């Protein structure tokens, strides 16, 4: 199954291959001299055209390489798109050919990944409208022929745009499926741990209620029997009474140990399941294997928080690495997650961060966000292990 990185790689290879093929006739004409250029009927362009052609390839490589991480959303991505289309138009102008229209077909594939669909269609239409004057004034065509030719390229660009849109939607669907599968694996691990805890608790309760009751009754009867018999028989009765009391003590200790061991949830395995197979993001988790939680509800809150952090990083951060550290500090859990993304100068809390905050607030938790433009994104979580008092959660932004 292809993931979003596979889609990006295929788009990059197809686009660069087309870019090279567009440059083949230009390169061939550059090797010719004098009358050979006129006789070959190959498109020819000077240094400005070659600069535009090479810049198109560079911009396309940079743009397509960062699409999978959502890093080109915003003004930077929009400017790159405009420059990409401008370079394609310049190639047509300086070469006196329709090769720039082919490059626009390549650029059209990237539009759905950077722009909302409506804006992408508008930019695509504007670029195609620009082609007709280039054909008229750059190549000496009449207007009907120029318009018809630009319509042909518009059809190719529309097809390329839709192909890019479908690829983006499939990548998003697979990412949503991956998140759901990771959530199911983590929930299954947490559920299995809860079942283990419940089963140990049930067994300890049965031991206490059944075996403990019978041993207590046996001890009392042996004590009574010890007062009723004499001689050698009394010695054996007293020994049996002592053994019964020792056995009752051992059972009580075993029950206590089972309750103490069974009341704790191993959280590391459940959280590790969330970090598996995340495309385009290397996740490093620092969680002690001995870290346990006694409250299944708090474990679920922590699970949801880590899931939201990973999802936000993939969708919005433009990061390649995410480090998550979890540890216990006195009677509370501390979690720090930090990525190497682009950060932001102005934090806008979406539904995900608000939902995370609300879950923590139910248990007196707190969160603090640190971010700045070009310095990544970090979030600090605090989750008390005891008590259920509610208090307001303040989501703060610290600018470095």
pLDDT for residue 5:
60
258 and 271 together in one domain: no
Rounded distance between C-alpha atoms, residue 126 and residue 86, angstroms: 11
Which range is least confidently modeled, 126-140, 187-201, 383-397? 383-397
Q: Express as a percent the part of the chain with pLDDT over 90.
A: 2
Confidence of residue 44 (pLDDT cuts 50, 70, 90): low
Give yes or no for residue 80 having a pLDDT over 80: yes
pLDDT for residue 68:
56
pTM of this structure: 0.57
Report yes or no on 308 lying in a domain: yes
Written as six digits, the tokens of 247 are 């056995």
Place of tokens 């138009």: 89
221 and 347 together in one domain: no
Give yes or no for residue 88 having a pLDDT over 80: yes
- Burial (CB count within 10 angstroms: exposed 0-12, middle 13-18, buried 19+), residue 33: exposed
pLDDT for residue 298:
79
For 289, half-sphere exposure in the C-beta direction (CA atoms, 13 angstrom radius) is 0
Provide the 8-state DSSP code for 67.
Answer: G
Domain that holds residue 203: 196-265
29 and 155 together in one domain: yes
Q: What is the dihedral of CA 164, 168, 169, 174, to 10 degrees?
A: 140
The SS3 of residue 338 is strand
271 and 256 together in one domain: no
Helices and strands per DSSP (H, E), number in the chain: 14, 8
Give the highest mean pLDDT range of 200-204, 261-265, 306-310: 306-310
Mean pLDDT of 98-104: 85
Mean pLDDT of 229-238: 75
Give the highest mean pLDDT range of 2-6, 120-124, 158-162, 251-255: 158-162
Which range is least confidently modeled, 68-82, 99-113, 242-256, 290-304? 68-82
Confidence of residue 55 (pLDDT cuts 50, 70, 90): very high
Provide the 8-state DSSP code for 313.
Answer: I
- What is the DSSP track for 108-127? HTTHHHHS-HHHHHHHHHHH
59 and 149 together in one domain: yes
Which residue(s) pair with 184 in the sheet? none
pLDDT for residue 70:
53
C-beta atoms surrounding 302 within 10 Å:
25
Confidence of residue 69 (pLDDT cuts 50, 70, 90): low
Of the candidates 207, 296, 210, 213, the one whose C-alpha atom is nearest the C-alpha of residue 255 is: 207
Report yes or no on 184 lying in a domain: no
> Is residue 124 within 8 Å of 108, Cβ to Cβ?
yes
> Is residue 66 within 8 Å of 318, Cβ to Cβ?
yes
Contacts (Cβ under 8 Å, ≥6 apart) of 176: none
Question: Domain ends where: 265, 300, 320?
Answer: 265
Rounded distance between C-alpha atoms, residue 64 and residue 71, angstroms: 10
216 and 313 together in one domain: no
Report yes or no on 189 lying in a domain: no
Q: Considering its fold, how many domains does the chain have in total? A: 3
Q: What is the dihedral of CA 67, 70, 76, 81, to 10 degrees?
A: 40
249 and 349 together in one domain: no
Of the candidates 30, 7, 21, 95, the one whose C-alpha atom is nearest the C-alpha of residue 57 is: 21
160 and 123 together in one domain: yes
Report yes or no on 186 lying in a domain: no
276 and 312 together in one domain: yes
Which range is least confidently modeled, 21-25, 51-55, 242-246? 242-246
Is the model more confident about 86 or about 210?
86
Which range is least confidently modeled, 35-39, 86-90, 98-102, 316-320? 35-39
């Amino acid at each position: 199954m292809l993931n979003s990185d596979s889609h990006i790689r295929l788009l990059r290879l197809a686009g660069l291959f087309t870019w090279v093929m567009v440059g083949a006739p230009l390169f061939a004409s550059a090797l010719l001299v004098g009358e050979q250029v006129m006789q070959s009927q190959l498109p020819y362009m000077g240094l400005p055209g070659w600069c535009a052609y090479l810049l198109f390839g560079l911009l396309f490589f940079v743009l397509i390489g960062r699409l999978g991480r959502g890093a080109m959303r915003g003004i930077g991505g929009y400017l790159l798109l405009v420059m990409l289309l401008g370079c394609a138009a310049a190639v047509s102008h300086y070469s006196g050919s329709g090769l720039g229209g082919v490059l626009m077909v390549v650029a059209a594939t990237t539009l759905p990944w950077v722009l909302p669909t409506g804006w992408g269609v508008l930019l695509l239409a504007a670029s195609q409208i620009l082609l007709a004057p280039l054909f008229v004034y750059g190549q000496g065509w009449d207007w009907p022929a120029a318009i018809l030719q630009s319509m042909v390229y518009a059809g190719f660009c529309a097809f390329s745009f839709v192909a890019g849109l479908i690829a983006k939607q499939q990548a998003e669907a697979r990412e949503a499926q991956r998140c759901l599968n990771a959530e199911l694996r983590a929930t299954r691990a947490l559920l299995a741990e809860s079942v283990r805890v419940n089963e140990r608790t049930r067994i300890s309760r049965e031991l206490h209620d059944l075996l403990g009751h019978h041993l207590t009754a046996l001890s009392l009867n042996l004590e009574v029997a010890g007062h009723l018999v004499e001689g050698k028989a009394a010695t054996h009765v007293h020994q049996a009474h002592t053994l019964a009391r020792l056995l009752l003590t051992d059972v009580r200790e075993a029950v206590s140990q089972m309750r103490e061991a069974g009341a704790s949830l191993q959280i590391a395995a459940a959280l590790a399941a969330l970090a598996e197979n995340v495309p385009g993001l290397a996740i490093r988790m620092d969680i002690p294997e001995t870290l346990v939680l006694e409250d299944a509800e708090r474990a679920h809150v922590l699970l949801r928080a880590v899931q939201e952090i990973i999802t936000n990083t993939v969708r919005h951060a433009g990061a390649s690495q995410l480090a998550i550290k979890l540890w216990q500090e006195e009677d509370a859990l501390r979690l720090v997650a930090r990525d190497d993304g682009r950060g932001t100068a102005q934090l806008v809390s979406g539904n995900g961060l608000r939902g995370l905050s609300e879950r923590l607030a139910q248990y007196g938790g707190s969160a603090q966000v640190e971010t700045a433009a070009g310095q990544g994104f970090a979030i600090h979580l605090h989750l008390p292990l005891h008590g259920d008092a509610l208090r307001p959660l303040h989501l703060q932004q610290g600018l470095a």
